[in-house]
């Protein structure tokens, strides 16, 4: 189906956009968008992101939760870049090392404002954080962003 192919191209272009963001050189991670309204980010927690008490700093929780929720929402919008307008974050457990997965899911909104949630789980599948964000359409065209694209397109 042509529409499905267009959606798949959009998801791959968003993944490319994520990979091109300079912030991800500081926080290496990998985004995948499996389907409409869903996003998954995998990353490893290492000592370099610790706070003084020896566990991952809240910065890493926020970044990965915000990104997962954002990309889940932006998977529904193929023309504009969304902007985070608010985010509520809950820390449920500390993490010191290992693979962490952020999973985002669109909840509501289809025109201007979108709501999405995300949760973080450690490598044992235990929740370590969760959050809910609101995102709105910006004036920035996705097609104007150098990282938004698919090889060979």
E runs forming strands in 16-97: 29-32, 38-45, 80-91
CA 137 to each of CA 1, 51, 77: distance values in angstroms, whole numbers, following the listed order? 27, 34, 8
pLDDT band at 102 (very low <50, low <70, confident <90, very high): very high
pLDDT band at 1 (very low <50, low <70, confident <90, very high): very low
153 found inside a domain: no
Max CA distance (Å), the chain: 53
CA dihedral 110, 91, 40, 139 (to 10 degrees): 40
Domain that holds residue 100: 2-144
149 found inside a domain: no
Domain count, the chain: 1
150 found inside a domain: no
**Average pLDDT taken over every residue of the chain:** 94
Q: Is the pTM of this model over 0.75?
A: yes
**Residue 79 scores a pLDDT above 60:** yes
129 found inside a domain: yes
* H or E element that contains 78: none
127 found inside a domain: yes
126 found inside a domain: yes
pLDDT tens digits for range 20-70: 999 999 999 999 999 999 999 999 999 999 999 999 999 999 999 999 999
Amino acid 3: pLDDT: 53
151 found inside a domain: no
**Residue 153 scores a pLDDT above 60:** no
CATH number for the domain that contains residue 63: 3.10.129.10
**Residue 121 scores a pLDDT above 60:** yes
Classified as helix, coil or strand, 130 is strand
96 found inside a domain: yes
């Amino acid at each position: 189906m042509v529409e499905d192919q267009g959606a798949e191209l959009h998801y791959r272009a968003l993944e490319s956009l994520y990979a091109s963001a300079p912030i991800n050189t500081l926080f290496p991670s990998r985004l995948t968008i499996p389907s409409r309204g869903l996003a998954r980010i995998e990353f490893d927690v290492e000592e370099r992101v610790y706070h003084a008490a020896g566990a991952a700093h809240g910065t890493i929780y926020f970044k990965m939760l915000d990104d997962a929720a954002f990309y889940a929402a932006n998977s529904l919008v193929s023309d504009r870049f969304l902007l985070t307008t608010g985010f509520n974050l809950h820390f449920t457990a500390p993490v010191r090392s290992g693979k962490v997965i952020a999973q985002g899911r669109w909840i509501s909104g289809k025109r201007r404002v979108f709501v999405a949630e995300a949760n973080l789980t450690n490598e044992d599948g235990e929740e370590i954080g969760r959050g809910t964000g609101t995102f709105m359409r910006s004036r920035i065209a996705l097609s104007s962003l150098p990282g938004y694209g698919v090889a060979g397109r």
